[in-house]
Structure 1
Amino acid sequence: MGSLIQDRTQTAATEAIGGERGDLLQTLRQHRGFLRYAAKGLTDEQARTRSTVSALTVGGLIKHVSNCEAGWALFMEGGAGLMATGLPSEEEWANDFTMTEGETLEGLLAAYEAVAAKTDGLIATLDLDVAYPLPEAPWFEQGASWSVRRVVLHILAETTQHAGHADIVREAIDGQKTMG
């Protein structure tokens, strides 16, 4: 119940921001909601369940999306250098899609809410046109820069893609679907 009240409060605050920022915030919040909905009512054991041939689990997907968003939030604040300060250890990286035994779904969702609140604040206040060079990595175009706006769109795409994955995993667990 508390989460529903918080969602309504955050939605009202988001709606108070108009234009492009409001659109970005509202769309990102909607897709975060789809991801959270895939976890609604699951036990920790179910959240760890590999219900398809994939290694993906609902809990692991929430953890991954939260970690990605946290890293990109750092990038939006100060570029690749600041993003690097939040990079996971090798062990954390290896477990990025895994809900480990010590983790709970409730804890992962709480961490995700905190990350989302920080990102929402950045979207509401940062200059969307400020751009930083991307980190050096084989999956990024060498020498390319991304604006804060492009990072927000990347976070939205990542969230949307993985919310779809979580929906499939959840449906295979007990038939619940986000839509339809």
Structure 2
Amino acid sequence: MTGERASSTTTETEILKRYLREAHEALLWKLDGLSEYDVRRPMTQTGTNLLGLLKHVASVETDYLGQVLGREQEQLPWMADDAEPNADMYATAEESREWVVDFYRRAAARAEAAIDELGLDAPGHVPWWGGASRDTTVRRLVVHMIAEISRHAGQADIVREAIDGSAGLLPGNSNLPESGQAWWTGYRDRLLEIADGFRLEERAR
């Protein structure tokens, strides 16, 4: 757990909820202080953008900890079989930033409610998973979502740094060395020098 150890009395449910919550927060704060343009701007050749990452995570979480568990959920037309490819990976012009963030928070709240109300051992059925693994539990679904959100939080780290140079784990806990720009420039140059050495070796082969 970030910044502190779990006590011997911490339950498995509390631990999983803590990691789930921290993953949510790590992704969400990457939008802080950015313009409407920057949160929507595609920063990779495959169109990765910050607001789209939130919409995607909220959509997946709504499915896994809603539909899969037979719980009431919002209708997500962008997740339907006939939706255009990647419709869950960006916000349309009609979908405001505030709406996407609120959708993300609602999905997170519903996920925690499912854990609290059903318990980790409650069964679920994932029709799009193959074989025997389709029949699963809330526990596995929560672990799956922690992995899913954390993966996209890592994408958001790179996207945000590419937009304005901001980096770090969470507000108040950057998890990075507290060094000036000169140190970071020297650090990057040192890594580039190491990489260049291998490039020269590869060319010489």
Common fold: TM-score over 0.5: yes
**C-alpha separation in 1, matches of 2:121 and 2:76:** 23
Q: Return the match for 1:40 from 32, 35, 39.
A: 32
In the superposition, the TM-score normalised over structure 1's length comes to: 0.78
Post-superposition Cα deviations, 1:25-50, rounded to whole Å, max 9, x if no partner, equal 11111111110111111222111111
Amino acid at match of 1:100: T
Matched, 1:27 2:19: yes
Other-structure match for 2:109: 117
Amino acid at match of 1:143: A
**C-alpha separation in 2, matches of 1:24 and 1:76:** 19
Other-structure match for 1:164: 154
Q: Return the match for 1:59 from 51, 55, 59.
A: 51
Q: Return the match for 1:74 from 63, 66, 75.
A: 66
> How far is the alpha carbon of 1:22 from its aligned partner?
0.7
Q: 1:71 touches 1:86 (CA, 8 Å); kept in 2?
A: no
**Where do 5+ consecutive residues of structure 2 fail to align?**
1-8, 170-175, 177-205
Q: Which runs of 4+ in 1 moved over 6 A?
A: none
> How far is the alpha carbon of 1:77 from its aligned partner?
2.9
Amino acid at match of 1:34: A
**C-alpha separation in 2, matches of 1:93 and 1:73:** 23
Q: How many residues align?
A: 158
User: Aligned with 2:33: secondary structure?
Assistant: coil
User: Aligned with 1:50: secondary structure?
Assistant: coil
Other-structure match for 1:128: 120
**C-alpha separation in 2, matches of 1:105 and 1:22:** 30
**C-alpha separation in 1, matches of 2:84 and 2:43:** 23
> How far is the alpha carbon of 1:94 from its aligned partner?
3.6
User: Aligned with 1:132: secondary structure?
Assistant: strand
Other-structure match for 2:164: 174
Percent of residue pairs identical: 31
**C-alpha separation in 2, matches of 1:134 and 1:175:** 39
In the superposition, the TM-score normalised over structure 2's length comes to: 0.69
Amino acid at match of 1:20: E
Matched, 1:154 2:144: yes
The structure with the largest helix share of the pair is 1
The structure with the largest alpha-carbon Rg is: 2
> How far is the alpha carbon of 1:119 from its aligned partner?
0.9
Matched, 1:143 2:132: yes
> How far is the alpha carbon of 1:120 from its aligned partner?
0.8
Q: CA RMSD in A?
A: 2.3
Other-structure match for 1:4: none
